[in-house]
Structure 1
Amino acid sequence: MISRLENLPNGVVGFEASGKISAEDYRDTVLPALTEAAAAGEVRFLLVVTDFDGMTGGALWEDLKVGVEHLRAWKRIALVTDLDWMAHVTSLFGWMTPGETKTFPLAARDEALAWVVG
């Protein structure tokens, strides 16, 4: 499930993900917010992942489409999680992601927000 984070600074789009991620999560929650942010100029993205039980095939496809559709708009992506494997994979493949990518532990959520805004 993905829910949008509220009360973030202007220009920052944020989400909290937990459990199993579905295509509907992307279509109904992520995509409208990213489309709005990209139309405004650039995407500064904060993703907080507390636990993760996988993604449906449709969610994987939506994830790929989201990145490509707004390729030039991505500025910064902050991943906030205590899941070591997710932070490790992000550090290995972050160079493939548009914009800058950085990971933070859950305890450093405020630091992640400050970085993504900067």
Structure 2
Amino acid sequence: MLQILELTKKNLIATEASGKLTAKDIEKIHPLIHAILDRGMKVRWYFEMKDFDGWDVKGFWEDLKMDAAHANDYEKIAMVGEKKWQDWITQFMKPFTNAEIRYFDLSDKQIAKDWIKA
């Protein structure tokens, strides 16, 4: 499940992922990204993973397509998690985007929020 947490800045998307993400979850983000791009801004994404198990097959495919289509539209991505594989995913993403991407432990989520807003 993907829950929208807050939109405190005009170019910030904040989400919390739990369980397995589906294609429907990923589709929630498209209008938010396009609203930011329509304002001529780059996207900042705070992506918190709590009890997150990854993606189902369709969700993974939709996420890959979205990331590929918007690779140059992200400015910053804060990945906040609690498991080593989540840090690995963050490192894996770096070559595929011009965005500044950082991984934060869940215990440092306030630091991540401050970083993504700065």
Does the pair score TM above 0.5?
Answer: yes
Q: Number of aligned pairs?
A: 117
Match of 1:77, as an amino acid?
A: I
Instruction: Measure, in 2, the Cα distance between the counterparts of 1:53 and 1:95.
Output: 23
Q: CA deviation at 1:17?
A: 0.2
Secondary structure of the structure 2 residue equivalent to 1:9: coil
CA RMSD of aligned residues (A): 1.6
Instruction: Measure, in 2, the Cα distance between the counterparts of 1:100 and 1:7.
Output: 19
Q: Which has the higher strand share?
A: 2
Instruction: Measure, in 1, the Cα distance between the counterparts of 2:81 and 2:67.
Output: 20
Could you state the TM-score of these two structures normalised by the residue count of structure 1? 0.87
Q: Deviation string for 1:38-82 (max 9, x for gaps)?
A: 222110010000122231221112111211222321100000111
Q: Which has the higher helix share?
A: 1
Instruction: Measure, in 2, the Cα distance between the counterparts of 1:113 and 1:37.
Output: 18
8 Å CA contact retained: 1:37, 1:43: yes
Q: Deviation string for 1:12-58 (max 9, x for gaps)?
A: 1111000011001111x211211212222110010000122231221
Structure 2 residue aligned with 1:70: 70
Q: Structure 1 vs Structure 2: percent identity of aligned residues? A: 29
**1:1-118 matches, cutoff 5 A:** 1-27=1-27, 29-40=28-39, 41-118=41-118
8 Å CA contact retained: 2:7, 2:14: no
Instruction: Measure, in 2, the Cα distance between the counterparts of 1:90 and 1:33.
Output: 21
Q: CA deviation at 1:92?
A: 4.3
Instruction: Measure, in 1, the Cα distance between the counterparts of 2:113 and 2:10.
Output: 12
* Structure 1 alignment gaps of length 5 or more: none
Secondary structure of the structure 2 residue equivalent to 1:53: strand
Instruction: Measure, in 2, the Cα distance between the counterparts of 1:35 and 1:83.
Output: 30
Could you state the TM-score of these two structures normalised by the residue count of structure 2? 0.87
